[in-house]
Amino acid sequence: MQCSWAVWHDASMNAYSEDLRKKKIVEAAERGTPKKTEVARAFGVGVSSVKRYVAAAREGRSLAPK
């Protein structure tokens, strides 16, 4: 049985919970963890995700998964 990578990839990805985004990632970044790369590595997310969540929190936007 052959399965394309796109189908497998989409089926296995889940959004990070709002709790993880807000209570863990954003708070760690705002608490003064020196680098966003360290926050990303600690929570197993991408650096771009950390930047996006921190920016959304600062602007008062929702951190809920879309």
pLDDT value, residue 20: 86
Mean pLDDT of the chain, nearest integer: 82
Reported pTM: 0.72
pLDDT value, residue 50: 93
- How confident is the model over 4-31, as a mean pLDDT? 73
Half-sphere exposure of residue 59, counting CA atoms within 13 Å on the CB side?
9
Task: Please report which residue ranges of the chain form alpha helices under DSSP H.
Answer: 5-12, 18-19, 27-31, 36-43, 47-58
- Stronger pLDDT, 37 or 9, i.e. the higher one: 37
CA–CA separation, 47 and 33 (whole Å)? 13
What's CA 65's distance to the chain center, in Å? 10
- Stronger pLDDT, 2 or 15, i.e. the higher one: 15
